[in-house]
Structure 1
Amino acid sequence: MTRRGLLTAFAATTITAAPSFANAAGLLRGAGDIRKLKMFNGRTGEKIDMIYWVEGDYIKDAVDEINYFMRDWRNDQVRDIDLRTLDIMAATHNMLDSSEPYMLISGYRSPATNAMLRSRSSGVAKNSRHLLGEAADLRLSSRSVNQIASAARSCDGGGVGRYSSSNFVHMDCGPVRTWGS
């Protein structure tokens, strides 16, 4: 049995143990009985490679570490990252079958950081999901923006934005929608 087949079989068995929220089946596709995130932050030099969910239970200390890792690096403000976003990120990474860590471009953004970024770019939303801890901007050098976005869209769990000219994909747990090129 292939790794992908095994993950699909595990995902099918975990749906009943999943937290109940809309699109749970879509979020779990490819996530398996163990969910982990592997990321690198080029701005801080920090790395993370950890299991944050095992057989239906989130691991509080691991989630706390992910929250800190995904903080607003400009002012070190931390906010809880929505667990649904973590699940979308993990499922997308698994579907891409890559051992390379995500490069985190942006996780949580404080209101001050979001306002500063908005003043510099029309592409930054006033009420960004980053402000709520519901979004991440990610890149994989071994996969194209289109490949990452396609995998994230297949989760059917939130927004997926393609930013090809900046080489990253936005993933969030808000309403299902897509944008960008």
Structure 2
Amino acid sequence: MTENSSTGLTRRGLLRAFAATTLTAAPTYSNAFGFLRGAGDIRRIRMYSGRTGERIDTIYWIEGEYIGEAIREVNAFMRDWRNGQTINIDTRTIDIIAATHNLLDAGNEPYMLLSGYRSPQTNEMLRRTSSGVARNSLHLQGQAADLRLNGRSVNQIARAAGSCNAGGVGRYSGSNFVHMDCGAVRSWGA
């Protein structure tokens, strides 16, 4: 494993970022998969977990290529915190999360991850004890995340995620979070 800096960026990721000849500081997105093409395109994700106290701030994609080490870090970070089980998080979901963050112009403020991957056992427990938990949740496939951003409202986050036109967006105003997934384009909640 490589050394991590205090910001959580991997050494390899930093070297690749510095090697890029042109970097785009604040790209605009027509949808999550329409990131600006060409030289200098980078994608970064910033989150923390109130459950585990962990933080992640990593560049996971540079100039058309996902960085395997960074994706593995995201997979570990978004694990089922109740039992430690991991799955490969769908990179489309990571892209939607990152695109939404950029559209919100949230700067360095990280998302709070409430739920990423859910094991079948965790999902079933939540179905028994909570309302609104789907039997075949996309969380089970590593294709969904429930997120909060302290500097933005649920409606602001949901509008930005919806403008990506790249998956499902659920508003949970009563619980102060937004669900984002890479499934069919749809929206729900208030």
Query: Structure 1 length as normaliser, TM-score?
Result: 0.86
Maintained 8 Å contact 1:30/1:92: no
Q: Which amino acid aligns with 1:7?
A: P
Say which SS state the counterpart of residue 27 (structure 2) adopts. Answer: helix
Structure 1 residue runs without a partner (length 5+): 12-24
Q: Displacement of 1:30 after TM fit?
A: 6.0
Say which SS state the counterpart of residue 127 (structure 2) adopts. Answer: helix
Maintained 8 Å contact 1:31/1:91: no
Query: Considering only aligned residues, what root-mean-square deviation do their CA atoms show, in Å?
Result: 1.7
Matched, 1:70 2:78: yes
Aligned sequence identity (%): 65
Cα distance between partner residues in 2 of 1:116 and 1:6: 41
**Residue in structure 1 matching 2:163, options 144, 147, 154:** 154
Matched, 1:26 2:31: yes
Q: Map 1:1-181; keep pairs closer than 5 Å.
A: 7-8=27-28, 26-29=31-34, 33-98=41-106, 99-181=108-190
Q: Cα deviations across residues 124-170 of structure 1 (Å, max 9, x unaligned)?
A: 00000000000000000100000000000000000000000000000
Structure 2 residue runs without a partner (length 5+): 1-23
Cα distance between partner residues in 2 of 1:59 and 1:71: 19
Aligned residues: 163
Q: Which has the higher helix share?
A: 1
Q: Which amino acid aligns with 1:173?
A: C
**Hey, which bits of structure 1, 4+ residues long, moved more than 2 A?**
28-32
Q: Cα deviations across residues 35-85 of structure 1 (Å, max 9, x unaligned)?
A: 010000000000000000001000000000000000000000000000000
Maintained 8 Å contact 2:26/2:102: no
